[in-house]
Each structure stands twice: as C-alpha cells, then as structure tokens.
Amino acid sequence: MLAAVALVFGALTPLALQPAAGSEAEEPTTFTVAMDNEVDSFNPFLGIEAESYEMWALMYDYLIGYSMADMSPEPTGLAEDWETSEDGLTWTFTVRDGVTFSDGEPLTAADVAYTYNRILDGGAEAATWSSYLTSVEKVTAPDERTVVLELSQPNAVLPLLPIPIIPEHVWRDVDEKAVKTFANEPTDGDPVIGSGPFELVEGTAGGPTARFQAREDYWKGSPHIDEVVYRVFKSKDSAVQALIKGEVDYVADVPPLQVDALQGQEGITTNQGDSPGFDEIAFNVGAVNTKTGEPIGDGHEALKDPDFRFALGFAIDRQRIVDTAYQGSGTPGDSIVPPTYDNWRWEPPAEDAFTFDPERADQLLTEAGYETNSGGERLMPDGSDFGTLRLFARSESDTSVTVMDLFKEWLADLGIDSEITAMESNRLTNVILDGEFDAFEWGWYVEPDPDSMLSYLTCDQLASWNDAWYCNEEYDRLYREQNQALDDAERVAAVKRMQEILYYDAPYLVTAYGATGEAIRTDRWACLQSQPDPGGIWLFQYGVTNYLQMRPADQAGDCDGVTNAVGAVADGTDASGSGAAGEVESSSSSSWVLPTVAALVLVLLAAGGLMAFRRRASAGERE
C-alpha cells in the first residue's frame, strides 16, 4: 500500500492553483465527486448502498430535516412543524406552501400521504422503509397542507422520517409489480421528476457517471453551483490522482495513508471525520424460505449454533484489523451501537469482552462439542469432518479482503479450513439472499435513532435487510417494546438488552468502528460544513445542506453566516487567507479552516446506513 501511495504522488508534480470553477460566465460551475462504488439504483424503493441514498437526497425532499450540529430532527424539510397527541397515537404535520416538483406540478400533503401509503401497502417499498412507519395504520391528507398519521401503538422513532417523497402524478403509473424493476432514470433526454434541489439528467445504475443539474426554482433557493457530477473510479489511488490533477473536486473515503500523503498538496484540504457505523463479519445462521419455513441455500451447520459463533469472537484480533485493514484509523468494535452513541450503547461485561484469546476460543469450541482430532483438525459434534467455511469479501474494498484474509488465518489456527471468494457488492447481495454463503464482511451506518439498525435483525426482515438470517423471539419482542416506549429510560433499557442478546448470539461479530477520510479542492470550493459539527464529514451526510451551501472559493464570503464552514472568510480576511478560529486537518497552503463548535451526536442509520439516508454502507465508506 505504501508503494502504491508513493507511485501516485511520486509521478505527479505540484500543480499551480487553478481558477475557481465558474470564473468564465459561459462555463457551468460543476462540482465533481469521485467514488469507488457505483449507484445500485436511482429508484428509492430498490437501492441499498450509500451512494444511492446520497443521490436520492438530491432528487427528492423529505418531510423532516436534520440539524448540522447533531442530526436531530428539525423543521427544515417539507414539514414546517408537527405535533403529536398526548397518547402518541396521532401525529399531524404541516406541509409548507409553494413547493413544486421539477416539472412545475405542486407538491402537496397528498404526495406525502401517497408515498407513505405505498410503503404501508407492502411490497418492495415496505422492505426499505417500513421500519419508520411501524404501528402506523393510516395516513391521510385532509387538505393540501396537512398530513395525519394514525397509529395503533406509539412509535418512539417519530418524527424521524427519512423517506424520499415521490410525485404521485408520476409514480401512480408504476404499479407494485413494475416498481421491482423500475429504473427511475432519465429517458429520451427527460430528467427524473422530483422536488429536490437537483434533477438527475444523466446516469444509469451501475454506470460510471451520474450528472445532476441544479434547479433554479427550488423552494429553499437555487444552489450556488450549476451541476454535481459523480464519477466512479476503479481504485482509490486513481481517484486521488484525479483530485491532484484537478479532474475531480472531492474524493470520498480516502484511506488514512493517502490522507497523510495529501499533506502539502497545493489547494487540497483533508479531513478525518467520525463515522457513525460499524463493520462486521456476518454469519449465515440459517437461511429459510420465509413462506414455508424450509431451509434454503447451503450454509454450514455449525454456524446455526450461537455457541460456535460466540467462540469465534475470541479468535479475532480486532486491534490487528484496525492497524492493518484500517491503517490505524479506527477502534476495535463489539456492539452494533457505536461508541458515538453512548447513551444507547451496551458495554460487554469485562469477563466476556472480546479480546484476542485463541486459547479461550479453542476451549469454548471444545466445550460446545467441536473437538479436534489428533492432527488438530476441528470436528463436528458427531465426530464427522468439519469441512470448509466459505468466506466472502467485497472485491472493491481492500479493507474487506484484508479482514477476511486475517479471519482465514485465525480460523486455521483453530483447525478450521476456509476459502475466500471476493466479488462485487451487488453480486454478494444476491449470494446472501440465496443463503449460499457461510460468512461475509460488510458494515452499516447507524442512524441518529438506533431503531432502524435494530430492525434489520428482526424476523420480519428475513429475506430482506436481515442478511445474517437471524431470528430470535425475545429480540423481536424487545424491538416492539422499545419502538412503542414513551418512557426514555424504558426504551434505553430495552435497546441495551437487545445489544446484549446479539452479542452472545453473535450473528454478527463486530470488528471495528472506522473513521472516514475525505479530501477536497479548497482552491476551488468553499462553504462546506461538517456534520456532526464538530468532528463530522463534509459530504454523504443527513440531508443536502452542503450541496446548497457550497460555492466557488472566490465567492465564499462568510458563507452566508456559516462562519465555521470550510473556506469561510472571517473579519478582515479574504478567501485566500485564514480567518476562522480553529483549523481542520489540512494540506492546503491557503490555510482553509474549520473551527470547533460544541455538539454531540445521538444515534445514526448507514442508512442507513449516511447516515440518515443510508442503510448499507458502501465499499469505500468504511475504509
């Protein structure tokens, strides 16, 4: 890896500062984002990866907004305000007036109700978004500005509703059967219709680029840029090289070694932001046909045994994973609620905390009936050969491949044979749904409220988000209890007990909590604010604030009062000097700064896992 970094930077000479984008009136101001993973779908009912969630947020509005400080819900989305009845069974939202879709049609409460009712009706729509509408029985729009949710039981997650609002006049022609294959991509030169600040004018799922054009009539005001272009690169090295050459403006998920190597590069600023998620090794604990209950796939019998899975928790050297696979940028993991959310988080007892202890792993396996023969090979409880575990890594993620290489090594030390297959994420998803695997490496973003992450491992999510095929009745009961709890202490207690169950049942062995590296051309661009603030990231956030705030660096000013944004001009300085109080980790010679503002994060989704708009984190986003 060090050699690769040396090649990238050694072959390049420092570039002079380039003119700010848009300095010539006839040229559109285009902000180009480099990624190493494709969009899996522009249909907000089908995609699962972080890139898709990011782009849906450009295309569509959401009922509720999120603060930049801590991702808490705020009335900056379609809803001006909301209220709930004393018993928590009725929620009423007031939709702001004057919002239109990109084709000029008005967005009203009826579009919100239509979107939510499609989810309540089941099908592909429900698979992605139903956890936010748990216990919601009826959604109505009594007038153009009022949306009413009627519940059978309280829903503690509300008003968190990170669901893209689709135009009824477009989607009513896409029935439940058609939605499963509906691409929602530009056709015959016509952009996709949505109410968001940008229109998708070019791009296909799995394609190398996607282009979004700013809307001049957006209800929050037109963005300061004309276009956002996403480009997919085959490697992080090539993406970083493109940044240095000035071919792109921002690179997501820059590995720590490359963050270090970017120090001193003219006009580039880097950041290592908090990543509100976790990575894990997941097991096939028993794939089944959800209609018949009959087993499907060919998962290994031993992985149906929680004692076997728990024992493997002591065979993993998590610190070595952080040091090698994450290049030291991260911390060892244990629970699906990351330390960022300490108010929700359950801590394992000291005597059972996962440390690297191969002897204890061997002892626990033996006690569970998995003894070894005279040659040190592990056996099944009936004395038969153990066979081979099939491990899957994501081929586009060096981290994923490295983790599984290490896991294979540690399994071998326990007398367990294994083989690794690396494949693209979209193919791996199909393998998981077919139950034709034993273990894989991936990760999740966790939302500001842990409910959606907890929901993924319920029995209801089998053959959908529940990729470990895990089902536990007590866990499901506790999920329902916390989801309906009106008392905060009771809810926190239930959430912690759920984490405890998962820890000992071990459908996931959490490996690490990573940080997110990113880099931007601050000789060209300014006014990006971190989320959470301080300590967070600049893009792939909850919401689209930075796509609306960002502008060419020579137009930064005080970033409309957001003086803690990158490149904001403080008193008596200009855009080429420093003026704010505290500095972000930077390689820019022009000293772009990002001051510290007191704020803490609550609990994040992937998804979903960005966080509020993402579930499954993508390959690069956990590097």
3-state SS track over 314-353: CCCCHHHHHHHCCCCCEEECCCCCCHHHCCCCCCCCHHHC
Distance from chain centroid for Cα 134: 21
Structural domains present in the chain = 65-171 (3.90.76.10), 198-276+517-622 (3.40.190.10), 278-514 (3.10.105.10)
Beta-bridged to residue 531, according to DSSP, are: 537
Q: Can you tell me the distance from the alpha carbon of 546 to that of 533, in angstroms, rounded to the nearest whole number?
A: 13
> Which DSSP string do the residues of 357-370 spell out, in sequence order?
-HHHHHHHHHHTT-
Tell me the C-alpha distance between 151 and 154, whole Å. 7
The pLDDT assigned to 571 comes to 53
Residue 182, both tokens: 């509906």
Which stretches of 168-249 are assigned E, i.e. beta strand?
Answer: 198-203, 209-214, 227-232
- Name the nearest CA neighbour of 424 among 598, 597, 206, 228: 206
Q: How many residues make up the chain in this entry?
A: 623
Q: Is 273 helix (H, G, I), strand (E, B) or coil?
A: strand
pLDDT at 416: 98
In angstroms, rounded to a whole number, what is the distance separating the alpha carbons of residues 223 and 546? 10
Q: What is the pLDDT of residue 313?
A: 98
Helices (H), 139-297: 168-171, 236-245, 256-261
Write the pLDDT tens digit of every residue in 482-521: 999 989 999 999 999 999 999 999 999 999 998 889 999 9
Strand partners, 518: 252, 271
* pLDDT score recorded for residue 552: 97
Segments of the chain scoring below 50 in pLDDT: 1-24, 572-623
Cβ count near 373 (within 10 Å): 12
pLDDT of amino acid 77:
98
Residues 394-421 have pLDDT tens digits of 998 889 999 999 999 999 999 999 999 9
**Dihedral over Cα of 377, 382, 387, 392: its sign:** negative
pLDDT of residue 7: 35
